[in-house]
Structure 1
Amino acid sequence: MELEKVSSATRRDRATIDDSRDDRVREQYTVVTAADVDPAKVARRWFVEDYGFGARYLRDMTIRWINLGRASGRGTGRSVAGEEINAPLFRVCAACGHQDTSTHKNNVTEHRPWCPNRRAAAETTRSVALSRTLRTEGLVLRLPTSVTLGDRYAVPSLAAALLLGLRERIGGDPDHLAVATIVDPTPDPSDTNEQALLLHDVVPGGTGYLAELAAPGIVWEILHRAWQIVRDCECRHEERLACHRCLLPFAQPYGEKWVSRATAERHLREILLSGDRSGSQEVPATMSWTCTEEDARSFDPESHLEQRFRAVLAERLEAVGASVAEQPTSAGNRWIIRVAGRVWTLEPQELALGSKPDFILRCEQPGIPEVVIFTDGWRFHASPTVNRLADDAQKREVLRLDDRIVLGVTWQDLELPAGSITAPLWYNESGRGAVVQAAGGALKPALVDLISRGPIDFLLHWLQQPDPDGLARVADWLPMLAVGPTTSTFALPEGRSLVQAAADLLDGKSFTPTAGGFSGAWAHRIDTLVLAARITDPATMTTEIVALLDDRDTGVGEEHAEAWREWLRLSNLLALRQSPTTISVHSLAATTAAPAPPTAPSAAAEEWSDIYEDATDNERLVIDIVWWAQAPEPVIGFETQDGVPLSISWPDRRVVLDLNLEAAELTELTESGWTVVPADTDTIRETFSTAKERA
């Protein structure tokens, strides 16, 4: 129902203010902005090449605000302006339009004095939405999926940042301009509609001011200035989301709790750098975008895995009744999860023993291992153009040796419905009962079920019922669950380890079969993956297992992606296993009979014995990484003149490793001229590329 005339009628007793409350009762309503982005009326458009950010300027567009009722009310789900929304609507009398508040009951107080239905026995109502319309000019700024997916702080924070940048440009508050959140429609049904910010004139017909702002260089300057302010705002040291000096003056009504300085800084930086999220590239002082008029939308799921993981996990957590509180940080939103009487923290982008996983899941309860989560895209890890399989195997083995659960998640895992059963090709369900019986009741059925479930189901189970001992027992007995009626065993050649035998199988070699039973080893070949196992102690049924993936050029094509995903699944299932385990790749099998880093840690301990003796266990693991990177000998426990304690550093070169430094410490070190480097082999080697000899 379009708003044309406004009048008010209320009873004196409802309008009277008394002392029962300190403040007036404020009601919130669900208001949706629907913008008519007509391609025929687009006067100018541009898009950042190979990135999802772009703009379209419309000299004439229609904007509608639709009020769907109280935000706390319950109603039917409706699709409005590209969004699925709970819409209770307004129930009003069909004759006089007065709001009806009591269902299935007619009351004289719910009608105007002249209403013919005032004293009727039954009520006659209609449910309506209220709307108002404005025709004006607008600038539609499309936001990339990498910014909006899985981050509820992103759009409100960027909307406030846009107005902040406008204030800086025009030298005062942009009172004649407003920002709304809309869906940028696409005519192609195969493409997804992206979220966008609509910067529009509040004057009917427009003032023409937005025509000047539609240029790419102007938009870049506005966003760059906003980024500088939120980057340097003092509230970054005050442990609050935002403040009056940066974004709060521009937050939408009732939206202050979703406006974050750290979120705006992170996403503005990504937009200004055309999607770079590595953190190593500096934001230039002048525009670096390469713009085109071609609207080429290309959605690559694997490039948004981290955000998709957040969205899927949030949905699944809500389904089991968990509560999730988000805390924006410079690295992403930290989650505080409360479920089944425990409190968990999901920390994004935190360094861990030379690796930088996408997330680390920690429980406040002592004795529960951390879950280190990698959202892996085939194209960025196991493709012919980017083959990081050996590096992944080495770094993740370091984490497993530290008794952490390493969990790999792919896009296909996120597409699985809750509770989906997808049994591995090597798994023998028919032999499950015999294995459970042989284990003497040590295997819990719910944990064995996880063999046929995805990593998200594993996380949900772990969050509600963490059982490290039970998980370790399933991993120890897993090789026996790979034995089927047709499984044949073979004898290991003398002097060959099980790892080397698995590599021989990938090379096409065969071995002499044994007479039967478990006197030899057994193996499954799944394309470019070999799962091999053998019993090392028949008395205790202790086994050795090898999951070896072919990482040679002939084994990493797209046709072999399923084998890579099965390798990740095996890696997930073998978490916390106590018996001999190797999760590796072919290129490492020639010199690796058991899981080991590329160079023995004892070399660092021997050459750098002084610092090695003084270091903690965690620091020793990092020192080994420094040694492998061929860097100079570091200093342990140095303290700067400003009093910042540094775990591992090179004071003469003003280089320090980022071992969980606080945000304030990082800022202080950077401003003092220090180079902060992650504890990553490649990055350390690159930093000290000119130093060929150890100090």
Structure 2
Amino acid sequence: IETWRFCPRCSHAENLAEHTDAHSACPRCGDPLWANVDQRMRMARLRQVMANTHDRDSRIGDDSEDREPVFYTRQMLADFEPQAIEAAYRIASDSLPFGFEYIRKVAFREINFGEHGNSDQTSLIAGHEISRPGFRLCRSCGMVQESRNAEQQHAFSCRLRQQNEPDNIIDCLYLYREFSSEAVRILLPTAAIEGAERNLNSLVAALQLGLRKQFGGQVDHLRMTRYDEPIADSDNRRRYLLLYDSVPGGTGYLRELLRDHRALLGVLQKALDTLTTCPCNFTTDPAKDGCYQCLYAYRNSYDMAATSRDAAVALLSEIVAQADHFEPVSGLSTINVNPIIESELEARFIEAIRRCALNGLDVQIQQKVIAGKPGYFLRAGEHYYEIEPQLNIGSSQGVHFASCPDFVIRSSRVRDAFKPIAVFMDGYQFHQLKVTEDSAKRLALVQSGHYWQWSLTWADVNAYFAGPATQLRNPFLEGLHEAMQPLQNK
């Protein structure tokens, strides 16, 4: 049995039998909660698994032919030293944060935290707070106990088989396997985050398609996982796709991909060429958005509905178009991701409005072209509103200090008219260098007498993604000004 300490914010973990437990903060990201007693957890390296059952229970009967599946909480933690980054490239533009880097050695730890939903107690590891009930097993033979209140179960040869002492059982033990290999870390572009699962699944499938075209034959040992890391002095996180070699030590495929930036871009170009020339582009079915000759062969059946050829083409085209504008950098952590953070917050704001419907509010929101650009149409009960993104407001609208709110919400009916609401999403690096200027812009909107103004932070928006709908605060029911009574009434 090993005792480990886990960081609550990043993927770093240490086996306390190999490291002195003397750090007051995480050695990797500096989080002071590293030293919290709750971050010490017991684990066992998974080396062998055996299953057995009574002969009587194993026989097929007519009473039931249904198997009851059991799901487990698993988490892949990828940890590496900053010095392990050998090559990194980014698009030389702050408006399009994207890049990739080769890491020669990454420690991968896949941890099984026990049966899913089997405990109300949660713990925070690498930024993810979830239930981690662990396993209860015999400290001698390793037999997993089915129930906390049931009679102890042991292997036939176990020396503790005839005893029934509580100390025989280890409570809340996690199982893990570990290996080291090479990896390529890819900073997810803005569009991949905006489109949530659809765009991300499409990008993963396109990368797998491109790898198959690049290397030929089977490349099943090259796998992908999501990875994120905390941003210093912020609650936000950088989001990545981690392409890794599942063969311990690596096979050299990924090193070949990052011999220069054009090698990986060549993979993306091959995927793009295949997608744009696939016969499914030329069918008479307008709803056909991929097939098994292009993307579908690379996704699991449960991901198929959230995989789109057109989404993959749009993502790859944006990246490949910048092929001549890549530059070497020391690492992806130096890239300014503020545009990504802001874009993700804006997307989550729209999704938060959708979630109001889960709280009993009669709300519907759908995409619509507003003033010649993509926007949204919102219905709240009997009232109808338009949500226009990125609207420039200045002297022509009676505002003496020009600004560009992230969204403007206005009534779509004259009889329901009220002053439009200018919505500002305050994400990462909010006004770090321009507090006075931004405050003046927002005050000017209110002083004009033509607009109301909302300022929303990550905490405001994320409240609609944490916990059941009955706990959500409804912005259309609470705390709105009298001039916004049509919304408040609904």
Deviation at 1:391?
A: 11
Structure 2 CA distance for partners of 1:19 and 1:211, relative to 1, 3 Å? farther
Deviation at 1:139?
A: 1.0
Deviation at 1:562?
A: 2.3
Partner of 2:244: 200
Task: State the SS of the aligned residue for 2:270.
Answer: helix
Deviation at 1:356?
A: 2.6
What do you get for the CA RMSD once the two structures are aligned?
4.2
1:96-137 deviation digits (Å, cap 9, x = unpaired)? 32222222x1314x3323251665165734112221112221
Task: State the SS of the aligned residue for 2:160.
Answer: coil
CA distance in 2, matches of 1:36, 1:403: 55
CA distance in 1, matches of 2:308, 2:372: 28
Contact 1:382 1:564 survives alignment (8 Å) = no
- Which stretch of structure 1 is more off in the superposition, 44-53 or 190-199? 190-199
Structure 2 CA distance for partners of 1:371 and 1:34, relative to 1, 3 Å? same
Structure 2 CA distance for partners of 1:135 and 1:407, relative to 1, 3 Å? same
Partner of 1:562: 442
Contact 2:276 2:313 survives alignment (8 Å) = yes
Structure 2 CA distance for partners of 1:131 and 1:175, relative to 1, 3 Å? same
1:358 matched to 2:375? The reply is yes
1:52 matched to 2:89? The reply is no
Task: State the SS of the aligned residue for 2:387.
Answer: strand
Matching residue within 316, 321, 324 for 1:268: 316
Contact 1:157 1:258 survives alignment (8 Å) = yes
Partner of 1:245: 293
- Aligned AA for 2:295? L
Matching residue within 87, 107, 115 for 2:151: 107
CA distance in 1, matches of 2:288, 2:401: 39
Structure 2 CA distance for partners of 1:159 and 1:91, relative to 1, 3 Å? farther
CA distance in 2, matches of 1:576, 1:44: 57
Task: State the SS of the aligned residue for 2:197.
Answer: coil
Contact 2:89 2:99 survives alignment (8 Å) = yes
- Aligned AA for 1:5? Q
Deviation at 1:213?
A: 0.9
TM-score (norm 2): 0.66
Structure possessing the higher radius of gyration over alpha carbons? 1
- Aligned AA for 2:261? P
Task: State the SS of the aligned residue for 2:97.
Answer: coil
Partner of 1:599: none
Across the two proteins, how many residue pairs are aligned to each other? 391
Contact 1:382 1:561 survives alignment (8 Å) = no
Q: Percent identity?
A: 24
Task: State the SS of the aligned residue for 1:129.
Answer: strand
Task: State the SS of the aligned residue for 2:83.
Answer: helix
Query: Which residues in structure 2 correspond to 1:417-456 (within 5 Å)?
Result: none
Deviation at 1:397?
A: 8.1
Deviation at 1:140?
A: 1.1
Task: State the SS of the aligned residue for 1:358.
Answer: strand
Partner of 1:369: 383
- Aligned AA for 1:264? A
- Aligned AA for 2:298? F
- Aligned AA for 1:340? G
Query: Which residues in structure 2 correspond to 1:10-409 (within 5 Å)?
Result: 10-18=53-61, 24-49=67-92, 50=94, 51-103=96-148, 105-108=149-152, 110-113=153-156, 114=158, 116=160, 119-120=163-164, 122=166, 124-144=169-189, 147-148=192-193, 151-184=196-229, 188-189=232-233, 192-214=236-258, 215-230=260-275, 234=280, 237=285, 239=287, 243-251=291-299, 255-256=303-304, 258-273=306-321, 287-295=323-331, 296-300=334-338, 304-305=341-342, 307-312=344-349, 314=351, 322-323=357-358, 340=360, 342=362, 344-348=363-367, 350-352=368-370, 354-362=371-379, 368-376=382-390, 399=412, 401=414, 407-409=421-423
1:547-573 deviation digits (Å, cap 9, x = unpaired)? xxxxxxxxx954522224535416996
Structure 2 CA distance for partners of 1:397 and 1:137, relative to 1, 3 Å? closer
CA distance in 2, matches of 1:414, 1:565: 23
CA distance in 2, matches of 1:213, 1:23: 46
Deviation at 1:257?
A: 5.1
CA distance in 2, matches of 1:391, 1:6: 59
Contact 2:236 2:341 survives alignment (8 Å) = no
CA distance in 2, matches of 1:191, 1:121: 45
Structure 2 CA distance for partners of 1:413 and 1:361, relative to 1, 3 Å? farther
1:662-691 deviation digits (Å, cap 9, x = unpaired)? xxxxxxxxxxxxxxxxxxxxxxxxxxxxxx
Any unmatched runs of 5+ in structure 1? 275-286, 324-338, 416-555, 578-695
Structure 2 CA distance for partners of 1:115 and 1:149, relative to 1, 3 Å? farther
CA distance in 2, matches of 1:404, 1:297: 44
Structure 2 CA distance for partners of 1:95 and 1:306, relative to 1, 3 Å? same
Any unmatched runs of 5+ in structure 2? 1-43, 430-435, 455-479
- Aligned AA for 1:311? R
Task: State the SS of the aligned residue for 1:134.
Answer: strand
Deviation at 1:402?
A: 9.1
- Aligned AA for 1:250? Y
CA distance in 2, matches of 1:189, 1:391: 26
Structure 2 CA distance for partners of 1:409 and 1:401, relative to 1, 3 Å? same
1:641-678 deviation digits (Å, cap 9, x = unpaired)? xxxxxxxxxxxxxxxxxxxxxxxxxxxxxxxxxxxxxx
1:22-70 deviation digits (Å, cap 9, x = unpaired)? 6654433332221123211112111222232111112222212112233
- Aligned AA for 2:292? H
TM-score (norm 1): 0.48
Contact 1:70 1:88 survives alignment (8 Å) = yes
Contact 1:351 1:357 survives alignment (8 Å) = yes
Contact 1:56 1:141 survives alignment (8 Å) = yes
Contact 1:59 1:138 survives alignment (8 Å) = yes
Deviation at 1:171?
A: 3.0
